[in-house]
Amino acid sequence: MTETPSDRFSAPHWPLELKLRQAEKRLEISFDDGAVFTLPAEYLRVESPSAEVQGHSAAQKVLVAGRAAVGILRLEPVGNYAVRIVFDDLHDTGIFSWAYLYQLGQEQGARWQRYLDGLAAAGLSRAP
């Protein structure tokens, strides 16, 4: 899926290309500033911007366990500012803005470690 920037006001960094790597369960995204991120489906699923995962405040964020095997079925464009990711566990309510995807790429290491620490503290597992 290749995007042509028609409205650069919606995100500080515009995606040039999104590549869904279904077999590898990853999304590759290239931005106009040269940044390229490879985001695993599991990471995207547990960081979904949906209310189901994020709640309605930071204190309500849900720790999503058991998604190590999750994949991505498809990507659905949402206007020219975001993409809906449909996961194979049928979660599809998160709309990932370009700015949020960029943030997920930049903060991947720290967010992933917080997630793993949270699972360990709760006695939960990544395994399905």
Q: Kindly give the confidence (pLDDT) of every residue in the chain, 128 residues in length, as a single tens digit, with 9 standing for 90 and above.
A: 444 444 444 578 999 999 999 999 999 999 999 999 999 999 999 999 998 899 888 788 899 999 999 999 999 999 999 999 999 999 999 999 999 999 999 999 999 999 999 999 999 999 99
> Hey, what are 63's tokens?
């720790």
What is the three-class DSSP state of 38?
strand
Largest CA distance in the chain: 46
- CB atoms near residue 70 (< 10 Å): 21
Q: pTM score, two decimals?
A: 0.89
Cα separation, 64 vs 55, whole angstroms: 12
- Residue 122 half-sphere exposure toward CB, CA atoms < 13 A: 14
pLDDT value, residue 8 = 40
pLDDT value, residue 2 = 43
Cα separation, 111 vs 19, whole angstroms: 22
